[in-house]
Structure 1
Amino acid sequence: MINQWKHMSAVLAAMLIGSLVTGVVMSTPEVLRHDPVAETLNRPNASANLDNRSRAPLPAQDLQAAVGLSQAFRNVAEYARPSVVSINTTVKRSVRPRVLPRGIAPGVEDLFDRPQERQASGVGSGVIISTDGYILTNNHVVEDADGLEVELSDGSTVEGKIIGTDPQTDVAVIKIDRQGLEPIPFGNPDNVQVGDWCVAIGSPFGLDQTVTAGIISGKNRVRGIVGNGDGFEDFLQTDAAINPGNSGGPLVNLRGELIGINTAIMSRTGSSAGIGFAIPVSLARPVFESIVESGSVRRGFLGAELGPVNEDTVAELDLKVSRGVVIRSVLDNKPADRAGIRPGDVVTEVDGREVKRLDLLRNYIASRLPGSKVVMKIDRRGRPMQVTVNLQERTGDALAEFGTGSFGGAQLTPATPQTAKRFGYSNLNSGLIITELKDDSEFDQSGLEVGDVIESAAGEPLKSAEQLKAILAECERQNVACRLVLRRGNQRMLLVIK
């Protein structure tokens, strides 16, 4: 007979944004079945009847390594827990009743049709960064929150205030009015390696101060889930259990140093499947420092269109190296141009770090403050060179001037005779060409393809990715569909984005 525990009914509020960690349902286990064989083995002299079926037990083992690792996890948990907080959010929403009461007297319908205020709640985690109350968490934990309650490790609660948010990295900074707190130290991102032990701490399902352990399963993961596919991503992957409510909590190494902010999971059920993602401190720390120092996020700007180095670009551009990031074009009188960088140059190293992928170089440049100097090693048709670039500030105007950008999971490049020729078009001087497209992104699910040209949006001819982004944002604000005119080969098509 199976003895089952009575099901517990618990709805634990949490926010769910795409693949970002938040919200779920708990189930209860079953009591183990009675095992008649096990009962027989426990009877005196019963083992004599089974000698011919059993094996000799393992010899005594040296458990010193296992005991040492267990002690290490215990030490990390004890050290890091005072720096971990639970964040409870409230969001007020106005809703209209869907069905009006029957028998309403004429002329008073508007009394029942007025918006009514509803309050939703959510739960997430955070980590204390300074003794005077600055806390690092996820943007999606506090986004649109009207109120924040922060619970400390000692069980006390205090009101929190949002200092700044950055949807493009899913990082947010909040502040509480407390002194003498125990901040967590930052780890060195260059020392994080695949296979390293790590510990995640947070409030999964509202169970505050929960500790899970695992290893770093991968680095430099890009999932296209931050900033509508237009964000800066460089996730650490871990198999430490991360569940709804862990969002914003710390991922630490065995020294108790912060190496990441737990953010997302890959799961069909919404619960941990052994694949979790954390924002590395290499992305989170510059955002935190910029918000605290200036109240906003300031990013470096190179002023160059970047492209991958692969078999196609090596053949097309006659490159002499097989790894790095190729400079497709540069803006006049911008940092790359002033440093002497030219189209066709391949960036192989920046500030002593090997450049392997376009997104990693883009992330690194964006993480530097305006005015920063970065040293780049480049290859120019087989001739190695070194240049120093003085970065400007990445602004909407700078991006609009450049025209190239990412949106909806697509890399968009203004159509010129040169860019159009690469995709088989001639006499094309306007519109945005989709040069890259992430699988299952917003634009991919809308039926767009690499090589498509978005000629206009809402009747406006397009010249830049920022222009398209602004038009779609305005359509969304007005709650109206946006009509896109596409060109695919020799066909023109109409796509309606709702």
Structure 2
Amino acid sequence: MNTLKTIIIGFFAGIAGAYAFFHYQIKEGVLSENQEATYNVASYKPEEAYLPNIVSPGATISISDVDFSSAAEKAIPSVVYINSISQSGISYSYWDMLFNGRSQTQVSSGSGVIFTADGYIVTNNHVIESAEKIQVIYNKKVYDAELIGTDPSTDLAVLKIDETNLPAVTLGSSSSLAVGEWVLAVGNPFSLSSTVTAGIVSAKGRRINIVDDKFPIESFIQTDAAINPGNSGGALVNKNGDLIGINTAILSRTGSYTGYAFAVPIDIAKKVVEDLVKYGIVQKPFFGGNVVEYDFQNAEKYKLNTKVKQFNGVLLSELDRQGPAIKAGLKLGDIIIKLEDVSINSKSEFEEELSHHSPGDKIKVIYLRDGKVGSADITLVNRDGETSLIKRKFYNDATLGATLESVEYGVKAFKITGGLFKKIGIPENYTIISINRQRVKDPQEVIDFFNKYKGRVIIYGVTSAKQELPMSFYLQ
């Protein structure tokens, strides 16, 4: 009963309250139908301190400033078409060997740049590394090319054709190249010969970790000029038609152009080509250590001061025990800021500057240690830790009809023109790893074996395409 009373009283009290509120509002005119609503509009006029600095537009670029016809006309004759020919489908096991596995000729293509009028041509190592035969197509004529040398660390190779008075490319300078500068890519994408595309320099000193080598040198020029399969080894030229890079790679999930292309700078390529022509091998210098990027994370890792305005330089992260760097007094954690008079601000810049030198060169290294500037004079060495230049050693044997050379995994056979190797079917650029299950490293061992041994022979090795190819035959 009390609950019911409470509900009834509350109900009438609510009605009375609502009536009093409505009467008060009408009386005061707050919700009057005749009263007009007013709105205060905020001012969006910027304060004087935040007014933008507006200037009149500058003069537009004339159409002649973006005309690349002269550059294209100058560069196109210096770019050639390259065919890389190899055998695929060969017998790759002892079982297949018994049934005489068949082979097919495989041809892949790329581009090259005429470096000298007497027939030296530069291309990418990956264009020709699997080749047993290389052809250069120029001016509708096919030339058999000789492989002068390769440098996997920069992905470059040098070829030679027997011709004179060729239109050698004009060499430019990649060090003076500016980000935002116009460039042209000239090559043979998708077998479309003499294709020219335009773009700008997007960045310099790019390191994208694509070079497959123990000691890679990556300091690529990045461009948005359209580069596709077949462009590799072609020319990247400036607006004057001067060579400033060798087109090498693209960054893509589809395998075709997506706006990110990379070229080896001409300043690196010139030294590589000169060494390959002169020595057959690049005289790569070593300073006896390794560097990493100098940034907040690495500074913290090596317990260096992180409260600096700028992280300029590279951080010395490794030192060879008997290397020239440690002998010159450098220590782990030193911040290298200069090589000679050249400022260093990244690992790619460090590697590029070092690549301009040779074993035996003396360079001055400027570094920071505990906030103080120091210097050290370092004598660069070769891969064997010596200051002398490295020379390739070739072995020729009339019985084998081939040239032999010691390489990392065994003995390489090339320039096979006749003799025993031609008879038993050893392919060009074949690397012999073992003979009758005995590892071989010395070319003289191979020569002595084939000139003296009689009986069953089993050779294990790899082709130029790095495919295993065992061979079995009988020597009488």
Corresponding residue to 1:144 among 120, 130, 139: 130
The aligned counterpart of 1:401 is none
Give deviations 1:40-99, integer Å, cap 9, x for gaps. xxxxxxxxxxxxxxxxxxxxxx997113422xx11111111121101112111343599x
TM-score (norm 2): 0.64
Give deviations 1:423-459, integer Å, cap 9, x for gaps. xxxxxxxxxxxxxxxxxxxxxxxxxxxxxxxxxxxxx
Which residue type is aligned with residue 168 of structure 1? Answer: S
Give deviations 1:386-443, integer Å, cap 9, x for gaps. 3222111134999xxxxxxxxxxxxxxxxxxxxxxxxxxxxxxxxxxxxxxxxxxxxx
- In the TM superposition, residue 180 of structure 1 has moved relative to its aligned partner by 1.1
Give deviations 1:451-488, integer Å, cap 9, x for gaps. xxxxxxxxxxxxxxxxxxxxxx9xx9889xxxxxxxxx
The aligned counterpart of 1:311 is 296
Aligned partners of 2:350 and 2:375: how far apart in 1? 16
RMSD: 2.9
The aligned counterpart of 2:73 is 78
Corresponding residue to 2:235 among 231, 239, 250: 250
Unaligned runs of 5+ in 2: 1-58, 388-461, 470-476
Aligned partners of 1:305 and 1:64: how far apart in 2? 46
Which residue type is aligned with residue 181 of structure 1? Answer: L
- Measured at CA, do residues 138 and 396 of structure 1 come closer, stay the same or move farther in structure 2, by a change above 3 Å? farther
- Measured at CA, do residues 189 and 381 of structure 1 come closer, stay the same or move farther in structure 2, by a change above 3 Å? same
Aligned partners of 2:247 and 2:96: how far apart in 1? 46
Give deviations 1:265-295, integer Å, cap 9, x for gaps. 1223222112111111132222111111100
- In the TM superposition, residue 117 of structure 1 has moved relative to its aligned partner by 2.0
Aligned partners of 1:373 and 1:228: how far apart in 2? 25
- Measured at CA, do residues 268 and 374 of structure 1 come closer, stay the same or move farther in structure 2, by a change above 3 Å? same
Aligned partners of 2:347 and 2:209: how far apart in 1? 14
- Measured at CA, do residues 304 and 293 of structure 1 come closer, stay the same or move farther in structure 2, by a change above 3 Å? same
Indicate yes or no: 2:99 matched with 1:113.
Answer: yes
Aligned partners of 2:263 and 2:97: how far apart in 1? 48
Aligned partners of 2:177 and 2:191: how far apart in 1? 29
Which residue type is aligned with residue 299 of structure 1? Answer: K
Which residue type is aligned with residue 372 of structure 2? Answer: R
Indicate yes or no: 2:83 matched with 1:88.
Answer: yes
Indicate yes or no: 2:193 matched with 1:208.
Answer: yes
Aligned partners of 1:328 and 1:246: how far apart in 2? 37
Which residue type is aligned with residue 122 of structure 1? Answer: S
- How many residue pairs align between the two structures? 329
Whether the 8 Å contact between 2:91 and 2:97 is mirrored in structure 1 is no
Aligned partners of 2:324 and 2:96: how far apart in 1? 59
The aligned counterpart of 1:260 is 245
Give deviations 1:102-153, integer Å, cap 9, x for gaps. xxxxxxx98982121211001100001111110010011111211122112x
The aligned counterpart of 2:174 is 189
The aligned counterpart of 1:373 is 362
Give deviations 1:200-250, integer Å, cap 9, x for gaps. 111111111111111111112222111168622111111111111111000
Indicate yes or no: 2:352 matched with 1:355.
Answer: no
The aligned counterpart of 1:224 is 209
Aligned partners of 2:141 and 2:467: how far apart in 1? 40
- Measured at CA, do residues 63 and 362 of structure 1 come closer, stay the same or move farther in structure 2, by a change above 3 Å? closer
- Measured at CA, do residues 317 and 273 of structure 1 come closer, stay the same or move farther in structure 2, by a change above 3 Å? closer
Q: Percent identity?
A: 37
- Measured at CA, do residues 396 and 268 of structure 1 come closer, stay the same or move farther in structure 2, by a change above 3 Å? farther
SS at match of 1:78: helix
SS at match of 1:116: coil
Indicate yes or no: 2:111 matched with 1:125.
Answer: yes
Indicate yes or no: 2:331 matched with 1:345.
Answer: no
TM-score (norm 1): 0.61
- Measured at CA, do residues 384 and 203 of structure 1 come closer, stay the same or move farther in structure 2, by a change above 3 Å? same
Aligned partners of 1:396 and 1:95: how far apart in 2? 40
SS at match of 2:283: coil
Aligned partners of 1:266 and 1:110: how far apart in 2? 38
Whether the 8 Å contact between 2:206 and 2:348 is mirrored in structure 1 is no
- Measured at CA, do residues 259 and 157 of structure 1 come closer, stay the same or move farther in structure 2, by a change above 3 Å? same
Corresponding residue to 2:261 among 271, 276, 280: 276
The aligned counterpart of 1:39 is none
Aligned partners of 1:67 and 1:307: how far apart in 2? 44
- Measured at CA, do residues 308 and 211 of structure 1 come closer, stay the same or move farther in structure 2, by a change above 3 Å? closer
SS at match of 1:278: strand
Aligned partners of 1:390 and 1:312: how far apart in 2? 31
Give deviations 1:310-351, integer Å, cap 9, x for gaps. 224434545356322222353344321333323332111112
Whether the 8 Å contact between 1:219 and 1:235 is mirrored in structure 2 is yes
- Measured at CA, do residues 252 and 377 of structure 1 come closer, stay the same or move farther in structure 2, by a change above 3 Å? same
The aligned counterpart of 1:174 is 159
SS at match of 1:292: helix
Aligned partners of 2:63 and 2:272: how far apart in 1? 38
SS at match of 1:301: coil
SS at match of 1:80: helix
SS at match of 1:259: strand
Give deviations 1:169-204, integer Å, cap 9, x for gaps. 110100001111121122112111110000111111
Whether the 8 Å contact between 1:97 and 1:113 is mirrored in structure 2 is no
Indicate yes or no: 2:323 matched with 1:334.
Answer: yes
Aligned partners of 2:352 and 2:97: how far apart in 1? 53
- Measured at CA, do residues 110 and 275 of structure 1 come closer, stay the same or move farther in structure 2, by a change above 3 Å? closer
- Measured at CA, do residues 158 and 324 of structure 1 come closer, stay the same or move farther in structure 2, by a change above 3 Å? same
Whether the 8 Å contact between 1:301 and 1:366 is mirrored in structure 2 is no
The aligned counterpart of 1:23 is none
Aligned partners of 1:230 and 1:303: how far apart in 2? 12
Unaligned runs of 5+ in 1: 1-61, 99-108, 399-472, 480-498
Whether the 8 Å contact between 2:88 and 2:105 is mirrored in structure 1 is yes
Aligned partners of 2:79 and 2:257: how far apart in 1? 20
